[in-house]
Amino acid sequence: MTKSIYVISPNGQQQCAGEYMRMAVTANGHSVWEQKEGSFWMYTGSNGMWIVGGRDAKEKDFKCSHGLIFCRTVQPDKAEVPPDKITGVWERLSGEHFIEDPSIVVTSVLHKPSPLRVVSPNGQQRCAGEYVLIPDCTANGLPVWEQKAARCYLYCGTNGSWILGGSDAKEKGFKCAKGVMYSKRTSGGVMPDKVGGVWLRLHGDKFREDSAITVTMKPSRLYVQTPHGQHRCSGEFVPSVDRMANGFPLWEHTGGKCWLYSGSNGMWIIGGTDAAAKDFKCTRGVIYCQAVHNGQMPDKMVGNWLRLDGDKFREDAAILVSTKPPSLYVLSPNGQPKCGGEYVLAGERCHGQPTWKQRRTELRISSGADGCWTVAAGLPKDGLGSDKPLLRCDQPHLGETPDKVVASWSRLDGEDLVKDDQIRVSSTSSLGKPVKLHVSTPNGQQNCGGAYLLVAGESANGSPLWKQMGGKYWLYSGTNGLWIIGGSGAKRKNFDCSRGVIYSQTPHGGQLPHQVTGAWLRLQGQEFVEDGKISIVQCEAVEEDFPSILELARQVAEEPDAFLFDEDYTIEELEALWLPEPTQKAETFVLEASDFEGIVGVYVLHPAAHGRGAHIAHGLYMVAKNARGRGFGKSLCLHSLARAQHRGYKGMRINMVVATNSSARSVCDACGFQVLCTLPRAFQHPQLGLVDAMLMFHDLEQTASHKEAPAVDAAPRLQSRKSLQREEVEVGSEVHIRPRLQLPLGSGSTKLEVQPALPLGLTLDPASGVIAGTPVSVAEDTRYFIKATVAEVLLKVNDVPDDEQCEDVAMSINEDFATRVESVREISDMLPEPCKTRAYGDWMVWMVHRAWLDDPSLTDLNFSNMHMPPPHVERRIAPKLMEAMARNTHLEKLALSNSNLLKASGVQLASALRSNSSLKTLNLESNWLDSNAVRELALAIKDNYSSKIECLRFSHQKQMGQFFGRPTEEAVGQMMQNNDNIVKLGFECDDAHWRNEIDRALLRNNDSWRRRQAPPDEALPTAEEHSLGRLHIVDPPDASANEVLGRYGTLCDYLDHNKKIPTSSQLQNSTRSNGQQISYAKAAPMIKEFRSWILDHAVNKLVEIFDSFETATSGVLRRWSSSHDHWMVEIWVEDRRCTFRGSREPAVSLSEHWVEWLGSSRGPSVRIGLPESQAGA
């Protein structure tokens, strides 16, 4: 058996963490372990469980089950299972209860990283550098590291924090907490590089938080990818063993003559021998990161890198620095599908070139003897190329990596290699894995439907992995090479299986799920059936995407050869072109990629013409400028072709491709589009003048010619069975119904009629047969016949449910009324208020205009749970309201919770709040604000010294989760530090530091508010705020002790022995050992009542209060209160007023003098012991 074990407990009971040595004694038949340099023991209790306990357990010779941490698994009777081998989750004491804590680890092997590197760029630089582990040296049970220059030590102090101290700490044997830097979080047995949280640094005579301080292991190898230039800098960089650059790590390229270093300007730079000759005391290089690193490693930098191109540096978003070896991704959809997937860089080389190995298989990409890249099983033997590779590049690589070679590939088909233009090898960073996919399965397994999000950083069998939003299903690549939708069973097997309820019929060969052709199979009963209705697509654009789409369209429209727009284009033109329009069958799809923030591409699909030309589709495409060259345009184009084919279109047309737009032409060519004709001098180029444009076409029927073509009659059928068309609409909604006419209408001379008469508000167009209008009354199911039985429509008009009246506000605005409201310039001329329930949109326009006019009678505007239309749909509501808040001086309460407030409007509101001085209550909960919008709101309130906001709420934003990120939390924290008015804040903060700052500010503001409400003669000095830990009652009460003995006699024996008020369980155990029984229902109220009696009688008496850091303060108790576990205790220390607050019941202990007062009216006390048979962890 091992002689020592280590306990790691980072989340609580950290004092129990550290090294434990096995003792010679046993307890309850099993070994006992003693904490090294500590006061805790690990033993097997009388209940057979491993327990970490303190001196009280040792005093009982471990014949008990007392402790702070235990494992619920019981030891077997005949053999001992060591604590590091026991199975099951450990539990720790939290408050009065034990909770499971998976982070607790008991192990016999503790990883002690060495060397460690400390970075402190903002101060105490003498502590920076490399620290090596001191053999056989521990401090408070944990290892110690020494700086190479022997000036500083990294050790665990007596307070449990990691500390950087000097020789004075070593002289004390590290039995102290002295140093100049320390971790804010206690170690809990976790090593310094893993402890997490911020570090604090001595600055003058105070410690200050410094997020730039880092403690890390020796730097890892780095891999640099620079595909667009400076290729000599690509590859592997190895950290230097004995050299640093300007106090930071230095990496050398494995090929030599290239270094990655920190320049004298604090930026990461990749330079050559000229930089090395200057010992890197310079800023020379060919690639650098544009942000100052402040101690962050190159792979952690946020922001683009710049590359020397000619005589200028240009931003290059494709440059990637990471600790993960670069991967390649192979796509082979037409054959050899098992070759598809991800390949990671392997250690071995072949013919002087690197090799890549496919995950979970032995397939490798390697260089053959002829200098061509091949994909084969294993490496060529004896240096000879494989006779029959599965895939082979048709041209020698000449030193280029497989993704850089510009040449076609061939695949093995039978005994021969055949050319296949669809084979593609690329870096995974350029694949554009969609962040979100949408699965539709209408005929069965509907639980699998919905949106699936990309799981960042994870893969399944070498392919990306998606998780169902709000569900239990996963979309993954099985071991059989098929895309599969499976549940938790596949997850438990780490996707090393082929389990699921839906799967693709053919191996994907590296294609993504939305790119796979062919039908999918679905589990129905005990067998799988083919289901042609299952589809997986990239997500269609939704309302919150519209502002981003229009912003991208604006950028692309300004390019010289993209679209027909000139300098005078309007936003309305962009909306009509790029936003979805159901009545015109126009669909908009957006592309999001894992390596980019926001939308990187958009395409629109709609019929090229109406009537007899509606079977041809028209496509429009755009890609963000910073995302070009990554294959996104081709992905959009291929997806649109598949979507058009799924929709039943026979062909796809692109009206105008400018001849000078070479990238668009190459994408169209690669996707199978053909030039129908060239229009000479059809496009006015702003620099080149008149240039040609091309009309391109893709025949979708020819693409699908391998499938059986549907029969087509040579002439239209004049006689056909009539089909019943069912429609349901709502009162007040605009209707546009096109019946499925089954007779050709000729040249337009046919006059159509409908019988019986349509519901009031609807009319029939006699030429086209379209039913349009707005129904104004409810009508039951009625069959309507168009004359000559051209068509039948079953139409039902439903009443509008109350909770759906705001679905389409923009459609319910009376333009005449809105125009008249807009023309009003004086509040006295304002039109009468419209009906809120019947004219919903008019009412919102009317209310917003009142705020715009700064109506003195309007002090409360409430749009909560009302659907404001997006800014691009209706500018007279949300945008105008946000602008009005900058000039309004009377509105005091603005309630916009769940009102469809978008992030762009949030930023606009932030700008208004920088000058608003009237608003007191602002509620923005449950909207579409992102972290940037919330941050801007907080900074605006912080900078506005005249702000009067007292109640502010912006939590629970849709699609944001619970927290907004550290930058936003920092902004909110700074806002609260500078603001004295906010007393109510709806905001969830994850960062412990800023959460504490916000809580302290709220306490300060609430106390100030209460003082302002108090009468002048009751003015109090400002209270010092502290956290509440526990109370110690010093002076006994003035009442008779018989009053306590008579009402709380059951508690008195416990008070004699322990001098503190017990918990419910402690009181039950005490009475049980005395042969009595008391239920929890009686114990809890008795203890609560007794605590109140003690505190009531301690008012104006001397007490001692300890805060959460065990700092004691003595004073006279002035008052106390408790409400819903929120405690407040106020004491006076001379002329100082101190308020202690806590969110849990404080422990209350009693002085010897108090216990003597209690015993003055009773006989000798009886000490009560707890029988071992009743003890429990």
Which residues, 6 or more positions from 1064, have their beta carbon under 8 angstroms from its beta carbon?
A: 1080, 1083, 1084, 1087
pLDDT tens for residues 1055-1073? 878 888 888 888 888 887 7
Average pLDDT on 461-488 reads 86
Q: How far apart are CA 486 and CA 492, in angstroms?
A: 11
**For the chain, what percent of residues have pLDDT higher than 90?**
10
Planar angle of CA 424, 427, 433, nearest 5 degrees: 85
More confident residue, 714 or 552: 552
Residue 340 DSSP one-character state: -
pLDDT at 775 over 60: yes
Give CA–CA dist 643/652, Å, rounded.
11
Using the structure block, give the residue that is written with the tokens 């047995």. 189
pLDDT of residue 686: 80
With a cut of 50, say whether residue 876 has pLDDT above it.
Answer: yes
Residue 1008 CA to its chain's centroid (Å): 37
Strand partners, 1150: 1033
Q: How are beta strands 105-107 and 116-119 bridged, if at all?
A: unpaired
Tokens of 637: 């184009």
- Sign of the Cα torsion 385, 389, 392, 395 reads positive
pLDDT attached to residue 712: 29
Quick one: pLDDT band at residue 961, thresholds 50, 70, 90?
low
Question: Residue 1020: pLDDT band by 50, 70, 90 thresholds?
Answer: low
Average pLDDT over residues 467-494: 87
Distance of CA 1071 to the CA centre of its chain: 51
* Per-residue pLDDT at 789 exceeds 50: no
Of 595-604, 747-756, 996-1005, which has the strongest mean pLDDT? Answer: 996-1005
Q: Does the pLDDT of residue 260 top 90, yes or no? A: yes
Mean pLDDT within 590-598: 67
Asked if the model's pLDDT at residue 71 lies above 70, the reply is: yes
Q: Per-residue confidence at 703, pLDDT binned at 50, 70, 90?
A: low
pLDDT tens by residue, 72-85: 888 776 677 888 88
Q: Which residues of 897-913 are buried (b: 16+ CB within 10 A; e: fewer)?
A: bbbbbbbbbbbbbbebb
Q: What percent of the chain has pLDDT over 70?
A: 85
Q: Is the dihedral of CA 922, 926, 927, 929 positive or negative?
A: positive
Q: What pLDDT, on the 0 to 100 scale, is given for residue 710? A: 32
List the structure tokens of 1026: 């502290």
- Looking at the predicted structure, is the pLDDT value of residue 383 above 50? no
pLDDT confidence bin for 514, thresholds 50/70/90: confident
pLDDT score of 541: 67
pLDDT, tens digit (0-9, with 9 covering 90-100), for 633-653: 887 888 888 788 877 889 999
Closest CA to 37 of 49, 21, 48: 21
What is the rounded average pLDDT of the residues 953-963?
77
Residue 4 has pLDDT above 60, yes or no: yes
- For 813-849, write each residue's pLDDT tens digit: 787 788 888 888 888 888 888 877 667 788 899 999 9
| Structure-model confidence comparison of residues 1080 and 808, the more confident one | 1080
Residue 287 confidence (pLDDT): 93
- pLDDT at 1122 > cutoff 70: yes
- Is the CA virtual torsion 538, 539, 541, 547 positive or negative? negative
Task: Return the pLDDT at 484.
Answer: 94
pLDDT at 851: 92
- Using 50, 70 and 90 to split pLDDT, how confident is the model at 385? very low
Q: How far apart are CA 189 and CA 508, in angstroms?
A: 47
Q: Can you give 208-222 as a three-state secondary structure string?
A: EEECCCEEEECCCCE
- Provide the sign of the torsion angle of the four alpha carbons 1024, 1027, 1028, 1033, taken in this order: negative
pLDDT tens-digit series, residues 162-182: 899 888 888 888 888 888 899
**Which pLDDT score, from 0 to 100, does residue 685 have?**
82
Least trusted range by pLDDT, from 467-481, 779-793, 1129-1143:
779-793
Are 970 and 942 in contact by the 8 Å Cβ rule? The answer is: no
Among 46, 42, 96, which Cα is nearest to 70's?
42
CB 582 within 8 A of CB 601: no
Total residues found in the chain within this entry? 1177
Q: How far apart are CA 189 and CA 142, in angstroms?
A: 7
Q: Where is pLDDT greater, at 7 or 399?
A: 7
Residue 1171: its pLDDT value, please?
32
Q: What is the DSSP string of 482-540?
A: -EEEE-HHHHHTTT-S---SEEESS--TT--GGG--S-EEEEETTEEEEETT-EEEEPB
Q: How large is the average pLDDT for residues 440-462?
A: 80
All domains of the chain, ordered by start, with CATH?
A: 4-107 (no CATH), 116-217 (no CATH), 222-322 (no CATH), 327-429 (no CATH), 432-538 (no CATH), 543-703 (3.40.630.30), 724-800 (2.60.40.10), 804-1018 (3.80.10.10), 1024-1172 (2.30.30.30)
- Report how far residue 886's alpha carbon sits from residue 915's, in angstroms, rounded to the nearest whole number: 6
> What average pLDDT score do residues 901-907 get?
88
**What is the C-alpha separation between 454 and 459, in angstroms, rounded?**
10
Whether residue 325 has a cis bond before it, omega within 30° of 0: no
Report the C-alpha gap between 519 and 844 in whole angstroms: 49
Question: What are the angstrom distances between the C-alpha of 718 and each of 312, 679, 723, 749, 1021?
Answer: 71, 40, 14, 17, 95
Separation between Cα atoms, residue 450 and residue 485, nearest integer Å: 12
Tell me the average pLDDT across 540-552: 75
- Residue 598 pLDDT exceeds 80: no
pLDDT digits (tens, 9 = 90+) for 574-588: 878 888 877 778 888
Mean pLDDT of the chain: 80
pLDDT value at 204 more than 60: yes
Distance between CA atoms of 751 and 698, rounded to whole angstroms? 38
Looking at residue 748, what is its pLDDT?
Answer: 40
Query: Is residue 1156 pLDDT above 80, yes or no?
Result: yes
* 28-42, 314-328, 523-537: range with lowest mean pLDDT: 314-328
Residue 970 has pLDDT above 50, yes or no: yes
SS3 content of the chain, % helix, strand, coil (to 5): 25, 35, 45
What pLDDT band is residue 805 in, cutting at 50, 70 and 90?
very low
DSSP designation for 759: P
Question: Looking at residue 742, what DSSP letter applies?
Answer: -
pLDDT at position 493 over 50: yes
Query: What DSSP string runs through 86-135?
Result: --S-EEEEETTEEEE-TT-EEES------SEEEE-TTS-GGG-EEEEEEE
Q: Which residues pair with 216 in a beta bridge?
A: 117
Residue 991: its pLDDT value, please?
83
The predicted-structure confidence for 343-354, as pLDDT tens digits, reads as follows: 887 767 787 777
Q: Tell me the two tokens of residue 434.
A: 């969609």
Place of tokens 């290729």: 231
Q: Could you tell me the pLDDT band of residue 705, with boundaries at 50, 70 and 90?
A: very low
Mean pLDDT of 794-820: 57
388, 412 Cβ separation under 8 angstroms: yes
Q: What is the 3-state secondary structure (H, E, C) of 152-196?
A: CEEEECCCCEEEEECHHHHHCCCCCCCCCEEEEEECCCCCCCCCC
> Which of 239-253, 379-393, 741-755 is predicted with the least confidence, judged by mean pLDDT?
741-755
Burial of 780 (0-12, 13-18, 19+ CB in 10 A): exposed
| Exposed/middle/buried for residue 707 (C-beta within 10 Å: 0-12, 13-18, 19+) | exposed
Q: Is the peptide bond before 834 cis (omega within 30 degrees of 0)?
A: no
3-class DSSP assignment, residue 33: strand
Cα separation, 1109 vs 978, in Å, equals 26
Tell me: pLDDT of 223 over 70.
yes
Predicted pLDDT at 227: 67
Asked whether residue 980 carries a pLDDT value surpassing 50, the answer given is yes
Residue 887, pLDDT > 60, answer yes
**Rounded distance between C-alpha atoms, residue 944 and residue 946, angstroms:** 5
pLDDT of residue 433: 65
Task: Kindly report, residue by residue over 935-956, the tens digit of the pLDDT.
Answer: 999 999 988 888 899 999 888 8
Q: What is the DSSP letter of 862?
A: E
Above 80 in pLDDT, residue 519?
yes
Are residues 954 and 934 in contact, defined by beta-carbon separation less than 8 angstroms? yes
DSSP 1028-1097: --EEEE-SPPSS-HHHHHHH-HHHHHHHHHHSBPPPHHHHHHHHHHTT----HHHHHHHHHHHHHHHHHT
* pLDDT score of 750 more than 70: no
Report whether pLDDT(299) > 50.
yes
- Judge whether 986 and 953 are in contact, CB under 8 Å: yes
pLDDT, tens only, 605-641: 989 888 888 899 999 999 988 878 777 788 788 888 8
Residues 509-513: what's their mean pLDDT? 80
The 8-class DSSP code of residue 335 comes to: S
